[in-house]
Amino acid sequence: MITVLRDIYSVLWVDLRFLRRHWLRTLATSLVNPVLYLVAFGYGLGGGISFDGYSYLAFVMPGIIALTAMSSSYGGAGYKLHVDRLFYRCFDEYLMSPISLFSLAVGKTLIGVVRGLISTVAILAVGVIISPALIVSPLFMLILVSSCFVFSFLGVLVGMWAKSHQDMTTFNTLVILPMTFLSGTFFSLNQLPGAVKAVLYLLPLTHSSECLRAAALGQTFPWLSFAALLGFGLLFFAGCMWALKRASV
C-alpha cells in the first residue's frame, strides 16, 4: 500500500511542479467561462426571475459550479496527458518505469482533481457571497470532489484515446460542448419532454448538476443520481486502465 501511494505521488509530483509555476495563469483561465456564464445567465438573462421557488441566481450557481468542476478537471487531466503523449512524447517513460498502471492512472487523474478543486472553490467563494441561500455542507463537498474525480478520469481516458489534436477537438465539440449546455446547468430538466430528459440523464454532468443543486438548496437529495455519477466514475476509470494496458503492450 505504501509503495502504491509513493508511486501515485511520484506521478502527481511532476504535474504539481508545473501547476505551481503556472498556478495564477491556470486559475485565471479556468475562471473565465464560469464568470461569463454567471454574469450572462445569472445577472443578465435571469435577473429578477424566480425558478423552482428560488432566485435564478441561486438556482444556476450550483450548475455553474458543476460545469467548472467538469471543465477544469477534464481539461487539467486530459490536455496535459495529451500534450505529453503527442507533443513532448515523454509519456512512454511512465509506461517503461516500474510503476503500476493503477498508480499511473490515479496519479494522472489527481492533477485534474487538484485543478478542478482550485477552480471550483474559487467560484464557490464568489457564489456564497452573491447568493447566501447556498448551503455548503459536507455532502455538497463530497459531491464536488466526486465530480472532479469523474471528469478527471474522463480526461485521462480521452487523453489516452486521442491520436491527434484533431481527435481531442472533435470530442470536445461533439461531447463536452453539448454537455455544457444541455445537462440542466442553466435550466430545469422538468421543462423538457420525457424522451429528451431520458437522453440527458445519460450525461454525467446532468447527475453532477442535480446532486450539487439539491445539496446546495436543501432539496430532496437524488441518491440515484449520485449512484449514477459514481457509476460513470467507475466506468471511466475502467476505460483508463484499458487504455493504459493497451498502450503498454
Helices (H), 38-137: 56-83, 91-96, 101-130
What are residue 188's phi and psi, to 5 degrees?
-85, 135
C-alpha distance from residue 127 to each of 55, 59, 65, 120, 138 (Å):
13, 11, 9, 10, 17
pLDDT in tens, 183-198: 988 888 887 888 889 9
Give the three-state DSSP class for 54: strand
Give the residue carrying C-alpha cell 435577473. 47
Predicted confidence at residue 153, as pLDDT, reads 96
Q: What is the pLDDT of residues 110-159, one digit of tens each?
A: 999 998 998 898 888 877 777 777 888 999 999 999 999 999 999 999 99
Distance CA 246, CA 249 (A): 6
Q: Report DSSP state, residue 203.
A: S
Question: Considering only CA atoms, which of 69, 71, 70, 60 is closest in space to residue 37?
Answer: 60
**pLDDT at position 242, please?**
94
In this predicted structure, what is the pLDDT of residue 57?
81
pLDDT digits (tens, 9 = 90+) for 190-240: 878 888 899 999 999 999 999 999 999 888 999 999 999 999 999 999 999
Mean pLDDT, all residues of the chain: 86
174, pLDDT greater than 70: yes
pLDDT of residue 45: 60
Residue 51: enclosing H or E segment and its boundaries? strand 50-51
What are 20-46's pLDDT values in tens digits?
Answer: 777 777 777 777 777 777 777 766 565
Q: For the chain, what are the domain ranges?
A: 2-248
The residues, ordered by sequence, that sit 6+ positions from 64 with a Cβ below 8 Å of its Cβ are 34, 37, 38, 41, 42, 123, 127, 185
Q: What pLDDT does residue 158 have?
A: 94
Q: What is the arithmetic mean of pLDDT over 47-62?
A: 75
pLDDT at 50: 67
